[in-house]
Structure 1
């Protein structure tokens, strides 16, 4: 008898906890490193570090590590962006903006799509 009551109470508690978890918005973001394709409106970043050049594209809201690479150019596409540089500063760039850094590129530790 006690086991049946305990199992029923545990099941009710589990369902209540699950429904509470599903209804409370969290900070789970899903920024994705995606393939750069022409015609898409992804965030696109041209960068270099240690003699290597890279062009990377990102989609979806969230924040991710950028590894301290030097950023040469950013095209935000349809994304609002904040980049966090090695000096501890954060810089916001609005969507549909293209910016280049020919003389003093920032060293970026992480990026965030808003």
Structure 2
């Protein structure tokens, strides 16, 4: 007769083997996260010129797929580089801008809550 400890050990080994086999058979998902990166000439990053309500100005660059908070800043200009972009504004709208687009908002800049690189 097999002792209880051996049965428990065998059951655990079978469970671990099954979990490992199941993990190996499933395709891996896309792991991605948008990154705030240093703006450098010649790179094709998403580049956003913006200002806050308090008069501060900023130029920020982003790379990689994902979504991040933009803090409700007013966007003056967007250069998408090789990225398709959706920005989500304070009015609840989402606006898609295709790659290789450079757009300025001189009169009525959107107040952007978050951005997403597709």
TM-score (norm 2): 0.86
Which stretch of structure 1 is more off in the superposition, 68-77 or 7-16?
Answer: 7-16
Pick from 79, 94, 100: which aligns with 2:98?
94
Offset of 1:62 from its aligned partner? 1.1
Q: CA RMSD in A?
A: 1.5
Alpha-carbon spacing, 1:30–1:9, altered in 2? closer, same or farther (3 Å): same
Larger of the two Rg values belongs to structure: 2
Which stretch of structure 1 is more off in the superposition, 95-104 or 9-18?
Answer: 9-18
Task: Figure out how many residues of one structure are paired with residues of the other and give that number.
Answer: 112
Q: Which residue of 1 aligns with 2:107?
A: 103
Q: Secondary structure at the match of 2:43?
A: coil
Pick from 40, 44, 54: which aligns with 2:43?
40
Q: Which residue of 1 aligns with 2:23?
A: 18
TM-score (norm 1): 0.89
Question: Structure 2 stretches of 5 or more lacking a match?
Answer: 1-5
Q: Secondary structure at the match of 1:11?
A: helix
Question: Structure 1 stretches of 5 or more lacking a match?
Answer: none
Q: Secondary structure at the match of 1:23?
A: coil
Q: Which residue of 2 aligns with 1:55?
A: 59
Offset of 1:99 from its aligned partner? 0.6
Counterparts of 1:105 and 1:17 in 2: how far apart (Å)?
A: 50
Counterparts of 2:13 and 2:21 in 1: how far apart (Å)?
A: 12
